[in-house]
Amino acid sequence: YMVSAAPIFSDTGMLRGTTLLFNDISELKRLEKMRKDFVANVSHELKTPLTSIRGFSETLLDGAKEVPELRDQFLDIIQKEATRMQMLVEDLLELSRLEREDFHLEFTPVQLNQLVEEVCLVLSQKAEQKSIHLESRHDGEVVLQADMNRIKQVILNLVANAINYSPEGSQVEIAVEKRPDGSYLIVKDNGIGIAPKEVGRIFERFYRVDKARSRNSGGTGLGLAIVKHIVDLHHATIQVDSVEGEGTTFTIKFPSA
């Protein structure tokens, strides 16, 4: 604890007592540690692609540019690494916007089932590369008061993860359901699953169960942190049910007004 003291005076200026203020610095320390870890993570995530871009461009300048196969291969790597940095910076900016005190969503009527179809189209190529079947199902139209682009981002992040953490040839199911207590968005995969001790941490910034796998699949490590913020800002809830080696289901519930 951090203790600070201040005297209390009466109207006539006589000393009447003292105020003691106890601050729980363990909480402050925890926040400070989180901030430091975050800065260290961001620096590391940016440094890795930068080192690679620098190395390959130097090798090109040192002569590799004269060998067509090497030149094409190295330029390809440079472009991929630059894209990775761009995605990371975009996710960081989005996260910092979502965390601002004065941030507000742009609410309009949103057709949830239509957004799901749009996301399936955007991710169809990614799914095809792993022969993953994207199956969407809904019973009729479900309309929400919501921030359309941000809900689209949520669906995109969840379905991209479902593809990333599933084996070739498996199936990803996206369902939109209207129930008496609210509207539901369910993303279900038959992938690698998440161990019980990890489930509680996956919404933390840069928390990854398997770092190498996440990087290789193109993740920034911020996808679920962004999802959680957007869900909270909509006063919705998100639930994860996962069995290691069997699969994972994310369920978002938008309560009826």
When asked if residue 214 is in the footprint of ligand ADP (CB under 6 A), the reply is yes
Which of 93, 138, 95, 94 minimizes the C-alpha distance to 113?
138
Among 162, 175, 176, 230, binds ligand ADP (CB under 6 A): 162
When asked if residue 49 is in the footprint of ligand ADP (CB under 6 A), the reply is no
Among 186, 248, 252, 254, binds ligand ADP (CB under 6 A): 248
Q: Residue 207 Cβ, how far from ligand ADP at the closest point, in Å?
A: 6
When asked if residue 224 is in the footprint of ligand ADP (CB under 6 A), the reply is yes
Which residue type sits at 141? E
Cβ neighbours of residue 28 closer than 8 Å, sequence gap 6 or more:
2
CB 222 within 8 A of CB 157: no
Within 91-130, the residues that bind ligand ADP by CB under 6 A are: none
Rounded to whole angstroms, the Cα distance separating 250 from 242 reads 9
Rounded to whole angstroms, the Cα distance separating 108 from 257 reads 14
Q: How far is CA 19 from CA 5, 27, 62, 82, 163, in A?
A: 6, 22, 70, 56, 58
Q: Residue 96 Cβ, how far from ligand ADP at the closest point, in Å?
A: 16
When asked if residue 191 is in the footprint of ligand ADP (CB under 6 A), the reply is yes
When the beta carbons of 186 and 192 are compared against ligand ADP, the nearer one is 192
CB 224 within 8 A of CB 161: yes
When asked if residue 236 is in the footprint of ligand ADP (CB under 6 A), the reply is no
Q: Residue 228 Cβ, how far from ligand ADP at the closest point, in Å?
A: 9
CA atoms in the 13 A half-sphere facing the CB of 208: 20
Among 56, 74, 165, 254, binds ligand ADP (CB under 6 A): 165
In the complex, the residues that contact ligand ADP under the rule CB under 6 A are 157, 161-162, 165, 189, 191-194, 202, 207-210, 214, 219-225, 248
